[in-house]
Structure 1
Amino acid sequence: MDEKFKDCDCEGDSLSSADDLNDQKRKDTISFMTWNLFIGADLSPLFSASILEEVPRRVTEVYRQFLATNFPERVKKIAQQIELYTPDVIGLQEAACWQLRQLTVPEMPAVTFDYIKLLIKELENRGLIYEVSACNHNISAQLRSSQGNFIRLLDRDTILIRKESGLKIVKRREGNFKTNDTTKLGGLNFELLRGWSAVDISNDKHKFRVITTHLETGSPVINLVQGNELLEGPANTSLPIIMLGDLNVTRDGQSPSAAYSHFLHAGFQDVWLVAGQGQGLTCCQDYDLLNAFSTLSRRMDCILYKNGWKPLSVKTFGTELQDRTPIAQWLSDHAGVIAHMEV
């Protein structure tokens, strides 16, 4: 792992040897959740800096946005939503880790906002034990701000499993896509790295695979190529399979993306099309999360399945005014999706 992000490493592998769960009741109905937690800021000001000298000011602007979206407050309500549904398996996208290090006072500890650790801790406070089963690292950057600090950002996707679900990890894999979009940062090329996590899971009766990913949003062509990499890689299995993610299902609220269409042509089915009611819109609230009424207008997040699953129910959540934080911020710029499946 990159040394500068050692404080943002994912933790929690005990489910792979959870023999103490063997005496728990195994069930054929399993609940799955997917949620893009929102990285916390609009990163486009960084990429509009045409020369390196502009970057520190833009870094300060973006970090101030992140602080304003207040993940320590959002995570309390995010955990409340998870407690409401208590899913067995959760796929999270934009599970970021932000750090601030003071250049002028190097002995001062870093200020770290690790979405995964903060969420797991908040769930523990509610009596729910979730553990990281897989976690992939995507975009990472360390940039100087205009205020004498280093700001570090790491984007991740992760799969969490509820310890009392009785599910055990058989195998885990994480990877990055070979094809990624690029942009300019201070006039230099910058790769918008994305990836996926996959876990083979057993509940004694059955073995199945879960994948979570966040496909490219800025380029339809790269979105398609990344989808095909999944089909040729971790999604190429005869096991029952669940795909959780921000797949950018539709680009204009109506027509499906090419990658999504390829998933369906490859035999995947969309839980929402089978068991959902309404449009299932999941994106997007404003970047500051303060829009007075929900502005969800596209379906981008979904749960796909293949090889032996039967959908029982599916719904979106985090879409109601009362779901917001005490300062009237939405919990994320995306709604989440929860489904109950029978294998």
Structure 2
Amino acid sequence: MRRLPVPIHHHWRNTTEVPVQRGFVAINARVAGKNYRIVNTHLEVREPQPGNPISQVFQAAQAFELIGVLRATTPIGKSLLVLGDFNSSPEDAGVPGPLPLPEPFDQGLVPPYQQLAAAGYTDGWTLRWHVRPGFTCCQAEDLLNENSQLYERIDLILSWPAPARVEDIRVVGTKHWDKTRPPAPRLWPSDHGAVAAELRF
């Protein structure tokens, strides 16, 4: 797993160094005569604090580096699938600059979802008509909440280039019958719903 460093802590004053251990894994695959690179990642949680909007900088920097690394290392002719918990939804707002950060973040912080969309990645969920909003996060930390309380869509299946079509895409693990069975406490399988899709390139 490659670590996505955020080499900007030394630009802040009166703070301590905090290591950020996130990364991605990737595999090259050949399916039905077509070449793919499949990447899975998990970006840092965005936790804006009152009076400190640049707390979003960690995940913005991780997305920026991830996009650059994949652009530089993905061979021509491979379809690229980027999956994971991005901790960023289509509704996330950026932080306008100027900010006391190194380039390019001094001009403002762009959330990961918006960065990936601007880099040409297609969000598979948007290619299908859905009655449900596709929320994937989050159940209670102890997984004991009775009813599902997912409220935001931050687990994504992105592709470059866009697939020719999306046969199916759905959130799974969010129904009562997905929970563990008695006599043990009935638990959700995860605090997130999982996104499953069938894409055609």
**What range is the shorter-chain TM-score in?**
0.7 to 0.9
Is the 1:181–1:191 Cα contact (8 Å) retained in structure 2? no
Quote the Cα distance in structure 1 between the aligned partners of 2:56 and 2:138.
18
Which of 171, 180, 183 pairs up with 1:325? Answer: 180
Quote the Cα distance in structure 1 between the aligned partners of 2:115 and 2:34.
27
1:209 alignment partner, SS class: strand
Which of 250, 255, 269 pairs up with 2:92? Answer: 255
User: Match for residue 6 of structure 2?
Assistant: 179
User: Match for residue 306 of structure 1?
Assistant: 160
User: Match for residue 334 of structure 1?
Assistant: 192
Q: Give how far 1:307 is off.
A: 2.0
Of Structure 1 and Structure 2, which has the larger fraction of its residues in strand? 1
Quote the Cα distance in structure 2 between the aligned partners of 1:249 and 1:274.
19
The C-alpha deviation readout for 1:246-301, integer Å capped at 9, x for no partner, is 01222xx8336711111111111100011251211000001100011111011110
Counting only pairs closer than 5 Å after superposition, residues 49-88 of structure 1 correspond to structure 2 as none
Is the 2:156–2:195 Cα contact (8 Å) retained in structure 1? yes
Which of 228, 231, 234 pairs up with 2:70? Answer: 234
Quote the Cα distance in structure 2 between the aligned partners of 1:181 and 1:272.
33
Report the RMSD for the aligned CA atoms in angstroms.
2.2
Matched, 1:246 2:99: no
| 1:276–1:179 Cα change, 3 Å | farther
Counting only pairs closer than 5 Å after superposition, residues 147-166 of structure 1 correspond to structure 2 as none
The C-alpha deviation readout for 1:219-249, integer Å capped at 9, x for no partner, is 4221111111111102443421101100122
Quote the Cα distance in structure 1 between the aligned partners of 2:167 and 2:187.
32
| 1:256–1:214 Cα change, 3 Å | farther
Q: Give how far 1:189 is off.
A: 5.2
Q: AA paired with 2:168?
A: S
2:19 alignment partner, SS class: strand
User: Match for residue 206 of structure 1?
Assistant: 34
User: Match for residue 56 of structure 2?
Assistant: 220
Quote the Cα distance in structure 2 between the aligned partners of 1:180 and 1:213.
19
1:191 alignment partner, SS class: coil
Length, aligned pairs only: 163
Which of 260, 267, 271 pairs up with 2:120? Answer: 267
Quote the Cα distance in structure 2 between the aligned partners of 1:341 and 1:288.
34
Q: Give how far 1:315 is off.
A: 0.3
The C-alpha deviation readout for 1:119-174, integer Å capped at 9, x for no partner, is xxxxxxxxxxxxxxxxx3xxxxxxxxxxxxxxxxxxxxxxxxxxxxxxxxxxxxxx
Is the 2:134–2:171 Cα contact (8 Å) retained in structure 1? yes
Quote the Cα distance in structure 2 between the aligned partners of 1:256 and 1:198.
29
User: Match for residue 102 of structure 2?
Assistant: none
Is the 1:231–1:263 Cα contact (8 Å) retained in structure 2? yes
| 1:204–1:272 Cα change, 3 Å | closer
Q: Give how far 1:178 is off.
A: 1.6
| 1:264–1:254 Cα change, 3 Å | closer
Is the 1:211–1:234 Cα contact (8 Å) retained in structure 2? no
| 1:181–1:314 Cα change, 3 Å | farther
Of Structure 1 and Structure 2, which has the larger fraction of its residues in helix? 1
Q: Which has the higher contact order (CA 8 A, sep 6+)?
A: 1
| 1:224–1:315 Cα change, 3 Å | same
Which of 188, 192, 204 pairs up with 2:20? Answer: 192
| 1:286–1:340 Cα change, 3 Å | same
- Return 5+ residue gaps in structure 2 as ranges: 10-15, 47-54, 95-110
> Under a length normalisation based on structure 1, what TM-score does the superposition of the two structures give?
0.44
- Return 5+ residue gaps in structure 1 as ranges: 1-135, 137-174, 183-187
Counting only pairs closer than 5 Å after superposition, residues 87-98 of structure 1 correspond to structure 2 as none
Quote the Cα distance in structure 1 between the aligned partners of 2:93 and 2:126.
13
Q: AA paired with 1:319?
A: T
